[in-house]
Chains A and B, each alone.
Chain A
Amino acid sequence: MRVFLALLTYFSYFFIVFMYTLKIVEYLKMPLHLRWELYPVIPEERFKYGGSYMEEPLFWEKKRRRSLLRGLLFLLKDYFVLSEYFKRKRSYWLSLYPWHVGFITIILFHISCFFSGLLMLLGFRLSPSSSLVGSAFYYTTVSLGLLSFLTGLFGSVGILIKRLEDADLRLYAAPMNFLTYVFTILVFSSGLYAFFLDPSLEEYRHFWEGLLSLRFVDVSRETAIHIILFSLFLIYLPFTRSIHYITRILGFFLIRWDDRPNKRGGEIEGLLERELERKVDWAAPHVKRGVSWKENALSL
């Protein structure tokens, strides 16, 4: 059992990282698209009212002042607030927010478990009465675990009810959406159950120590069930829309905020030259089929 648990955990982490990487690479390898930005563009200087550099005469002669950091912070901040939902759909936010807090904290919980395991391997003792580092990691792990299981469970039950009860949401939901909610209920509730049986999460830290040292350990049935469910959930996630955590950042920077002007002789122009050589296969009568975009643009 312990070997199975360990292998499943290794595999699930490898699988999700591999699949997410594939998806991100696929996303990034897509061709340069036409500009389709939408204001406000947060990295822009005039972001407060949604202005752009095109408000200035002869803007191509002037230096653009952009802050990518501001854009990144804007997006990161919203992971912890979900402000548009709070502003526009409060009843949905009430479930969505704890659901997402559950996800964020379960990731942090596992990161914390990883470092706890590492510290234990290095000889640290992790308990309320141990050294500053030991007790800090102890409390961090326990509180993150508890917070994750509680908020995640509350959120996943709430969002399931909301999807069923709200006709606007139900109409667009596919059975897979409900499977996801049920799956998350199982993951968070199994975690909470395991926590009640082992409030110090001692087993969990030892499990991670074993994963890191390759000296796998046995855990109780309840903890094992949670580990299995969580691992299966990680394997399941790439088949859902969950990667929107990452693609959201890509989408904002590469599409919604992509207002980079095409300067003569610049990098974008070089990329464009290549795109314009692509052959067109559209079949409508006004399209010249089989010739390049450039030739199409130059012809009638």
Chain B
Amino acid sequence: MKIKELSRPKDLFCEIRREELIGLPYPFDRLEDIPEIGILPEEKRERFEVSLDGVMAVGIPKPKDKEEEERFIRGFISGLRKLLSKDDNWTFLQPLFHSLEYCVKCQICSDSCPVYIASGRKEIYRPTFRAEVLRRIMGRYVKNRRGLLSRFAAGDFELTFTALARLCELAYRCTLCRRCAQVCPLGIDNGLIAHEIRKVFSQELGIAPKELHELGTMQQLKVGSSTGITPKALANIIAFMEEDIEEKTRKRIKIPVDKEGAEVLLLHNAGEFLSWPENTEAFAIIFEVAGIDWTLSSELAGYDAVNYGVWYDDIQLARIAVRHAEIARALKVKKINVGECGHAHKAMIVVADRVLTGELNIPRESALPLLEDIVVKEKIKLDPRKNDFPVTLHDPCNMVRLMGIVEPQRRILRKICTDFREMEPHGVENYCCGGGSGFAIMQTANFPDWRSLVSGRMKLKQILEVFQDVISRDANKYVCAPCSNCKGQIRDLFSFYNVWEKCRIFYGGLAELIVNAMVDLEKPFIEWVWR
């Protein structure tokens, strides 16, 4: 295969074969038990450019005529120029420049990429592949190196609609976990390059997966949440949570909403309210018992910590970050604490740190150190024997490798569990769950199959390995994933492979485990019911 062949029309540029994927431990070691990636229907293959690997994450419609194709290509080149402009891309110009200019293509990063390895080392998933394509396009079409010079200095590449549509899909085959960047001795970040390619498509051509843009950031800003929860629906959910808490714990707790001047504005990923209300309930119980002065917000976007902009669009990122900060300012809270959501952590605490100024620059921190403070200082009474099952910890990339929050969650688990075991590798060298950078919420066509079979495969392998000595159905096991998107991905992974049925491995957040260990609860908080 040659890199320039990405431009050439072909029904399928790269085929993902089940037998080439990296093997899984028992009881998933039999190939015939594992499903294949679904084949896209003829109608989709006719209408959309999906010839990269037969998988559709974005789905760019094929152009109707030559003029539309040329307009598309011109738009992309124009976007590339803006990517190199101080005005249009001050946000990432220096990191992008560094990674484009100084990679020596030594491929040392390849083996650190879980997608590349799990796929059976498919060339298109190599971290440097999409970077090399972008570099060649930049060389020829932006820096105007033509003919021999182009081929000599950078290698040739012809820009066609097919190439561009494949490149766009390819930008959504990287979870932005940045494990590749971590091992690069020169500081090259191929994850960032995938991010920047996404930005050109979104910010210049208005192309992004609908779950990220239309149903994601746009819906969050207009309706209040990417889940579609409106402020009115939130009020109902909170009433339900209060009832549920009382039923489970016999504690009557009034969840504070829009409390002016509270110490803490707690921002949850709204996915928790819908899919894992036990997590938000657990936070309410812990904060109530520990005497934390806190509040939720019912303002548009104020009850949804997500910021999908961090994955594909700097402008959307800034809009949501500003919205969150404005809500905190209006409530006059002392600080914002981000609940168990990895990308919201990174977006709000780290990336948006260079978006928010003046009165919007409100202190923001992770909820994990606060939980650690509560647990370690014994502000609530806990008994680790209540968590007497094997527990492992999944490290969300955004919190750990990209933020350096590594130990608080571990210190909590060591204190509240009798059998806490680490996956290998873990901490800042962890593997992504396979749902990073928006994948966990992307449900288009056969993309979920791909993320279960390919991008989530290393994580499943790790989970199975860590529980291998207790893998049978006889014992309940718990994967603690303090991140909504990771939980969504683990839920889908486990459903795809039937992990709960076969191995009794459950998953959930950290706060639930803390509450489960509370001495004054009569029955376990964790219900061990697969939903």
A interface list, Cβ under 8 A from B: 27, 30-41, 44, 46, 49-60, 78, 82-85, 88-89, 92, 96, 168-169, 171-177, 179, 241, 243-244, 247-248, 250-252, 254-256, 259, 261-264, 268-269, 272-273, 275-276, 278-287, 293, 296-300
Contacts and interface: CB of A to CB of B under 8 A. Distances in A.
Contacts of A261: 353
Contacts of A244: 102, 104, 186
A131 B478 CA distance: 74
Contacts of B103: 241
Q: Which of A27, A50, A293 has the most CB atoms of chain B within a 10 A radius of its CB?
A: A50
B75 A33 contact: no
Given A30-B86, A33-B354, A176-B152, A51 B406 contact: yes
Contact of B123 (A32, A171, A287): A171
Contacts of B357: 262, 269, 272-273, 276
Nearest to B404: A52
B407 interface: yes
B87 A280 contact: yes
B249 interface: no
Contacts of B218: 286
Nearest to B370: A57
Contact of B105 (A173, A263, A296): A173
A275 to B, nearest CB: 5
B94 A30 contact: yes
Given A51-B407, A174-B155, A297-B319, A33 B314 contact: no
Nearest to A255: B95
Interface stretch (B107-115, B446-454, B520-528): B107-115
Contact of B428 (A49, A88, A255): A49
A45 B79 CA distance: 40
A250 to B, nearest CB: 8
Nearest to A159: B106
B107 A168 contact: yes
A89 B322 contact: no
Interface in B205-235: 205-206, 213, 218, 221-222
Contact of B88 (A78, A82, A256, A282): A282
Nearest to B337: A57
B363 A60 contact: yes
Nearest to A253: B187
B106 to A, nearest CB: 6
A32 B178 CA distance: 21
Given A49-B427, A268-B354, A54 B3 contact: no
B111 A88 contact: yes
B91 A34 contact: yes
Nearest to A287: B315
Given A35-B351, A282-B82, 14 more contacts: A32-B354, A34-B314, A37-B404, A49-B428, A54-B366, A57-B370, A174-B151, A244-B186, A256-B187, A264-B358, A264-B361, A284-B203, A284-B205, A300-B221
Contact of A272 (B75, B335, B354, B402): B354
B105 A50 contact: no
A188 B353 CA distance: 49
B181 interface: yes
A38 B315 contact: no
Contact of B318 (A40, A85, A296): A296
A222 B79 CA distance: 52
A83 B111 CA distance: 16
B98 A85 contact: no
30 contacts: A32-B90, A33-B91, A33-B93, A34-B354, A38-B178, A38-B402, A39-B400, A39-B402, A39-B404, A44-B404, A50-B406, A54-B366, A55-B369, A55-B407, A83-B185, A85-B185, A88-B108, A171-B1, A174-B153, A262-B353, A262-B354, A264-B358, A269-B357, A269-B361, A272-B357, A278-B86, A280-B315, A281-B82, A284-B206, A300-B222
A50 B402 CA distance: 10
Contacts of B321: 297
A22 to B, nearest CB: 13
Contacts of A296: 315, 318-319
Question: Which DSSP category, helix, strand, loop or mixed, fits chain B's interface?
Answer: helix
Contacts of B123: 171
Contacts of A275: 90
B126 to A, nearest CB: 8
Given A54-B403, A174-B155, A251-B187, A84 B108 contact: yes
A176 B150 CA distance: 10
Interface in B117-143: 123, 126, 128, 132
B407 A49 contact: yes
A89 B108 contact: yes
A85 B93 contact: no
B444 interface: no
Contacts of B407: 46, 49, 51, 55
Given A37-B402, A89-B108, A31 B90 contact: yes
Nearest to A297: B318
Given A40-B428, A284-B206, A33 B369 contact: no
Contacts of A85: 106, 108, 185
A196 B368 CA distance: 66
B404 A55 contact: yes
A177 B75 CA distance: 32
A97 to B, nearest CB: 12
B315 A262 contact: no
B343 interface: no
A30 to B, nearest CB: 4
Nearest to A96: B106
Interface string B66-110: 000000000100110010011110111111011001111111101
B37 to A, nearest CB: 25
B492 interface: no
Contacts of B183: 84, 88
A84 B185 contact: yes
A72 to B, nearest CB: 14
Interface string B454-478: 0000000000000000000000000
A82 B185 contact: yes
Given A33-B92, A50-B427, A171-B2, A55 B111 contact: no
